[in-house]
Amino acid sequence: MPRESLFGRLNRKVFGYLVSRFPPAPWSDLTRRTVETVQRQVPRSHAEKYELKTIWYWYPLYCLGGIAFVAFIILTITGILLGFYYIPDGTIEFTRTGDVTSAAYESMNFIMNDVPFGFMIRGLHHWGAHVMIAAVFLHMMRVYFTGAYKKPRELNWILGVILLLVTLFFGYSGYLLPANDLSRGAATIGINMAKAVPPLWLGEFQTLVFFGELDPTGFYILRMYWFHVFILPLAGTLLMVLHMALVWIQGVAEPH
């Protein structure tokens, strides 16, 4: 039997790896049938299928990813509302009495004091962020402890780790925006961390990419705003859709 060429073997290996994890299926047909079926049904879980006794107190843990997603939707809505009033300008200014302020800080005060229910919207955004990050951490713990990252779900685990990074960066860039003392202190730490990567030019380059300046004078707020309202939501939404599509394709992994 003639030996297969190197390219052929490599091709089979790579293709076989992918196909064994994502078996080809008529996804469009399945989707259409699911949508068109009157009685749309949630498939039985492993435990139901084999009539195993369910460990019911574990089941809320399988809801954590969904809670993170619901919190993300709430954050999107409240974030859009906040975006109507927030001014991403951290340039230092002085009031008539000589106090330090900035346009961003003034707009925060405007949202909190003058916009009708502005404090509620900001409160929802603030606490929603905490809930989302907590849910993401707990979701990750659930996936870890139930071994749900094993074959064939490796790719989804890696996507999840990237989404964790995205969420943390969401949180970090979010609490840099109000231009208060916490924002300035956190920006100082972040800029120093980014600058510390050797060699010098690389550290300064990535500091300029992420913060736009080498010392926290206030320009970092515009940069963080753009990350917070455009780049991260775009990347995050795409990755989340992919993450959930993979869960749908590969099924929920539950311990049995």
DSSP-assigned beta bridge partners for residue 93: 101
Binding segment toward another protein, per CB under 8 A, in 4-12, 16-24, 183-191, 237-245: 183-191
If binding is defined by CB under 8 A, does position 35 make contact with another protein?
Answer: no
CB of 106 vs another protein, minimal distance in Å: 9
Q: By CB under 8 A, is residue 249 in contact with another protein?
A: no
Asked if 251 interacts with another protein (CB under 8 A), we say no
Residue 153 near another protein by CB under 8 A: yes
Which residue from 15, 17, 22, 119 is in contact with another protein, where contact means CB under 8 A?
A: 119
Residue with Cβ nearer another protein (128 or 229): 128
Structure-token pair, residue 159:
């996507």
Beta carbon nearer to another protein, 92 or 234:
92
Those residues with Cβ within 8 angstroms of residue 226's Cβ, 6 or more apart along the chain or in another chain: 88
Q: By CB under 8 A, is residue 74 in contact with another protein?
A: yes
User: Is residue 205 involved in binding another protein (CB under 8 A)?
Assistant: no
151 binds another protein (CB under 8 A): yes
Q: Is 244 in the site for another protein (CB under 8 A)?
A: no
Minimum distance of another protein from residue 11's CB (angstroms): 22
Which residue bears the tokens 């919190």? 71
Beta bridge partners of residue 100, listed in sequence order: 94
> Considering the complex, what minimum distance in angstroms separates the CB of residue 15 from another protein?
19
Cβ-based neighbour number of residue 143 at 10 Å: 20
Burial 116-139, CB ≥16 within 10 A → b, else e: eebeebbebbeebbebbbebbeeb
Looking at this protein, which amino acid is placed at residue 119? F
β-partners of residue 101 are: 93
Q: How far is the CB of 2 from another protein (least distance, A)?
A: 33
Q: Which is nearer to another protein, 26 or 199 (CB)?
A: 199
Q: How far is CA 154 from CA 21, 45, 71, 103, 247, in A?
A: 9, 21, 25, 46, 12
- In the complex with another protein, the residue whose CB is nearer, 73 or 231, is 73
Residues 6+ away with beta carbon under 8 Å from 172: 186, 190
Sole window of 12-20, 22-30, 175-183, 239-247 interacting with another protein (rule: CB under 8 A): 175-183
